[in-house]
Amino acid sequence: MDYTTLGSTGLRVSVAGLGCGGNSRLGLGSGKSETEAIALVRMAYDLGVNFFDTAEAYGTEEVLGRALRGIPRDRVVISSKSRIVDARGATVPPAAILTSLDDSLRKLAVDTIDVFHLHAVQPTHYDYALNELAPALLRQKELGKIKHLGITETPPRDPQQAMLSRALQDPCWEVMMLAFSMMNQGPRRTIFPLSKARGVGTLLMFVVRNLFSRPEVLEQTIEDLGRNGLLPVGTTPGDPLGFLIHEGGASSLTDAAYRFARHEPGADVTLFGTGDERHLRSNVESLLKPPLPQEDVDKLHEVFGALSGVGLVFPDRTPAPLR
């Protein structure tokens, strides 16, 4: 496994991070048992993964806590989150956020959470998150319940990443989770230059999802882009990513997607989700491969670099085919 430091936090983290949400939820989303989910987490750890991301909303905190039981606490980095808006769309009061934190600590069976995020913050709720919730959580940091404060975006509702662009101006946020992929490269211009300069750790999500794992989704996406005149002249409409698959290049689009994201300057941890051990091993292997050939990266920048909001859809809870 390759390791890096998460921004200025001092946390030494694996470049591959196991996401416990998304479509798979460690396999629980496709009907697998908690025993199987625990085995998956342990396999990730055995492969060198030490960064595990969960959330109140995922329903996987407890199973992750059970999976990590017996592993020395300083050998793993745990990330969790609390929603700031309830099912009715009302903002959650600070006291409820603190209750959520305590619940997460209990479910994970730990005394402190390494990175605790405010989850899926929309631009319209950012002032509330900054002025009302962050101060309450910073007091919990002083008490030792959390080590570092993070914030995550909600990509389908904020494709231009306006919230994170604002959050980068405020020093309380030490880690950010954001969407980045071969066809959603906006952070190269708007996020990574500032996050690197200010030492903010980055966790990448939406790197693959259905866009690069389901051929029919990619085909429809390309068709829509072409219809709207968003593909450059000369791009192969039916197979615009085919140039990535060749000897010395990527072995699949999923492989290309992970390698493109993982080696982007400014990317710390690339998150992936799965409920299958073979898929887990394949993802880790891709994330440990060298960068894509520079000519392929340059072409991805040329063809898709100006796009935004592509592939940003909420999890449909349908397991993607293993590729």
pLDDT for position 270: 98
Q: How many Å apart are CA 255 and CA 287, to the nearest integer? A: 8
User: Residue 24 falls within a domain, yes or no?
Assistant: yes
Segment (H or E) for 196: helix 192-198
User: Residue 323 falls within a domain, yes or no?
Assistant: no
User: Residue 317 falls within a domain, yes or no?
Assistant: no
User: Residue 178 falls within a domain, yes or no?
Assistant: yes
Total domain count, the chain: 1
Q: How many helices (H) and strands (E) does the chain have?
A: 13, 10
Query: Model confidence over 66-96: pLDDT tens digits?
Result: 999 999 999 999 999 999 998 898 999 999 9
User: Residue 309 falls within a domain, yes or no?
Assistant: no
Q: Report whether pLDDT(130) > 60.
A: yes
User: Residue 215 falls within a domain, yes or no?
Assistant: yes
Global pTM exceeds 0.85: yes
Query: Model confidence over 94-117: pLDDT tens digits?
Result: 999 999 999 999 999 999 999 999
Nearest Cα neighbor of 210 from 247, 246, 257 is 257
User: Residue 299 falls within a domain, yes or no?
Assistant: yes
Segment (H or E) for 66: helix 61-68
User: Residue 320 falls within a domain, yes or no?
Assistant: no
Query: Model confidence over 251-272: pLDDT tens digits?
Result: 999 999 999 999 999 999 999 9
pLDDT for position 321: 41
Neighbour tally for 236: CB within 10 Å: 12
Binning pLDDT at 50, 70 and 90, where does residue 320 land? Answer: very low
Query: Model confidence over 214-249: pLDDT tens digits?
Result: 888 888 888 888 888 887 766 766 788 999 999 999
CA atoms within 13 A on the CB side of 272: 33
pLDDT for position 296: 97
Domain of residue 78, CATH code: 3.20.20.100
Task: Give CA separation, 242 vs 38, 180, 218, 307, in Å.
Answer: 37, 20, 12, 18
What is the overall mean pLDDT for the chain?
Answer: 93
Residues 6+ apart with CB under 8 A from 193: 266
Binning pLDDT at 50, 70 and 90, where does residue 147 land? Answer: very high
Q: Report whether pLDDT(191) > 70.
A: yes
Q: What percent of the chain has pLDDT over 70?
A: 96
Neighbour tally for 215: CB within 10 Å: 11
Q: Report whether pLDDT(9) > 60.
A: yes
Q: What angle do CA 111, 116, 119 make, to 5 degrees?
A: 140
The two tokens of residue 131 are 């002025």
Q: Which domain holds residue 203?
A: 3-304
The two tokens of residue 235 are 């791009």
